[in-house]
Every structure is written in C-alpha cells, then in structure tokens.
Amino acid sequence: MSQISIQKVLLASPRGFCAGVARAVKTVEDTLDIFGAPVYIKHEIVHNKTVVENLETRGAITVDSAEEIPENAVVVFSAHGSPPEDFEIARKKNCTVIDATCPLVNKVHLEMHRFLKDGYSVVYIGHKGHPEGRGVIGEALPSGKTIPIIESVADIESLSFGENDKIAYLTQTTLSITETEAIIQALRKKYPHIVAPPGKDICYATTNRQSAVRALAGICDLVLIVGSKNSSNSTRLTETARAENIPAYLIDSASNIDPAWLEGIATVGVSAGASAPESRVQEVAEYFKHLCAIVKEFTTINEITQFAEPKTLTRIKMERKTKKP
C-alpha cells in the first residue's frame, strides 16, 4: 500500500438508481408490506446482487420463468419487461400480478405493437438473451413475424429486406450510445428508408450516466463503476470509460477493489449503474477516505424524473384502505 497515494475521488452525478429502478424496488417493498412473504419476483427485479439479496431477506423469492410461479401467488414482474405469454401463464394460475416494467421499456413494447400493426418488419438492436429484449420481441409472437436481433454492425450483413419493404428499428434501453449510433448509421446506409422510433429508445438515465462517465474519464486516472456483472447498463459504463483510454473496473462493492489498481493513481472517478444502490457507492467513498483521499461530487446534470407506481398496486392500496374499519 506504500505506493498508493490517492489525492482525490470524484463521485459522478447522476449515478445509481434511475426512476425505473427506484419504482421497481419500491414496488416489491410495498407489495411485501401489503401481502407479507412470500412475494414472487419473475426474473431479478433489477440486475444487482445487493438489491436482490436485500429483498430476499424480506421474503421475496426470485424465479427465472413464469412457469415456476405457484398457483394463487402474489408476483411482481421485473423492471426489464415481460412477454405477453408470461402474463397469460400467471393469469391461468390465478396469481395477483403487479407489473413493475419500467415505463420507458414499456414504451418500446408499445412501439413494437404500432410498427407491426402498421405492416412494418422490425429490427431490434440489443443483446441476445437479455430479458428486456425477450419481452419486447415477445410482443411479435402473435404476428408470426421473426424479429432479427442486431448486436453489432457485422450482424446487419445477414439482413435480407428488399428496398420496397417497410422496415423500422427499435433498441434496448441500456445500450452504449456510441456503439448503437454506429449500428443505426450502418442500417441507414443499407436501408435508407428504415424508420426510427418516435424519440430515442435508449433511456435518459443510460445517456446521462454514460455522459457523466465520459466526462470523468477526461479528468481521472482510473474509473470504478459500482454494479453487478449481469447489469447491461453497468457494463456499458465500464466500456464507456475504457473507450476513453482510461483503466476502468466493474465492482459490486468496495471489497472488490484490488489495491494493485491504485498504484500510481492520483484521481479516481466513481459512478454506479442504474440498478446499483447508493449504499454501495458510499462504501467505496469510505474506502478512499480511509486512504486520506478527498471525496467530492462531480455533477454533470441534475435528474428530476420520477414515475408513478404501477396502477395495480395503487388500486390494491385503495381497496385495502377502504376496507379498513
């Protein structure tokens, strides 16, 4: 540790929970308060180890598929969104379903509906196997249309649409801004008539956090991103910093910091994925305070977005309230 002399640590703002994650986590907490344990969560409510484990200690049970949900259970569907068939499975099991899909993800579901209804073939830009993409593409199942998934510019070569075909594209909400733009430009080059979604699908929180990390990388010697490895947006933040030729590491907590990373480093930048709790960021801050570093906020933009709770949860609360003597 003698070669470590961190002078300053900059905490990116905005960082951590976005409005969709905050809404989803509170939805599970409120559902547990109302119904008690167990409450089943279809897919991890958000992709963060700490958040999932904390909710499990209160009685949340995470399952990977709708088929695993018991009959008559109370279930919360995760922030990533779910295909229509999962709702149908839960309905047949007589479950109480509270849908915590992020409103910005739900927007992409609605766009898929509209494009298909209007006769378009849709190309989806996203990561294969990610639950958000599975939910959006699941909307196309009744139409019988196949939705190609594009992960890179190279994937565009396999597309075989004609120049007279109606084509549109949609994107996952947590992608790298620069990589996605390159894919969109390549799509437009091959298909100049391709139609974009109304407004960008990559969400405000992803955009803001990547911009803040890019700014951090310009003034820091090292960047640490707090988040879990299965978190798409956290991984993209790490990649954003590395794209600026700065060493960057994805950590779940301060315990993951390797002192070897800090040798010869004067200024460290810290951010957190949209599913990472602030408590973990503060643990990292305390780690550096113990090394006598000055910890400061580094604000690039103020976020004020908030989302209303799921309508089903509001209705359940109102019904319970009116039944009280």
Architecture of the CATH domain 104-190: 3-Layer(aba) Sandwich (3.40)
Distances (CA, A) of 2 to 6, 80, 260, 263, 269: 11, 44, 11, 9, 21
pLDDT digits (tens, 9 = 90+) for 257-299: 999 999 999 999 999 999 999 999 999 999 999 999 999 999 9
What does the pLDDT average to over 47-53? 95
The rounded distance, in Å, linking the Cα atoms of 209 and 217 is 12
DSSP tally for the chain: helices H, then strands E: 10, 12
- String of DSSP letters for 75-89: EEE-TT---HHHHHH
Residue 60 has pLDDT above 70, yes or no: yes
Sorted by where each begins, the domain ranges of the chain are: 8-17+204-299, 19-102, 104-190
pLDDT digits (tens, 9 = 90+) for 128-170: 999 999 999 999 998 889 999 999 999 999 999 998 899 999 9
What does the pLDDT average to over 96-125? 97
- 132 counts as catalytic: yes
Q: Exposed (0-12), middle (13-18) or buried (19+): which is 261, by Cβ within 10 Å?
A: middle
pLDDT digits (tens, 9 = 90+) for 165-210: 999 999 999 999 999 999 999 999 999 999 999 888 889 999 999 9
Architecture of the CATH domain 8-17+204-299: 3-Layer(aba) Sandwich (3.40)
Q: Which two tokens stand for residue 221?
A: 């010697």
Instruction: Give the CATH fold of the 19-102 domain.
Output: Rossmann fold (3.40.50)
Confidence at residue 142, expressed as pLDDT on a 0 to 100 scale? 86
* Rounded CA Rg of the chain: 21
Confidence at residue 1, expressed as pLDDT on a 0 to 100 scale? 42
The rounded distance, in Å, linking the Cα atoms of 254 and 151 is 32
Among 132, 139, 163, 286, the active-site one is 132
- String of DSSP letters for 177-208: HHHHHHHHHHHHHH-TTPBPPSS-SS-HHHHH
Query: Please, what is the angle between helix 103-117 and helix 19-35, to 10°?
Result: 110
What does the pLDDT average to over 4-31? 96
Average pLDDT of the chain, as a whole number: 95
Domain 19-102 and domain 104-190, same fold? Reply is no
Provide the β-strand partners of residue 125. 150, 171
pLDDT digits (tens, 9 = 90+) for 77-99: 999 999 999 999 999 999 999 99
Confidence at residue 309, expressed as pLDDT on a 0 to 100 scale? 97
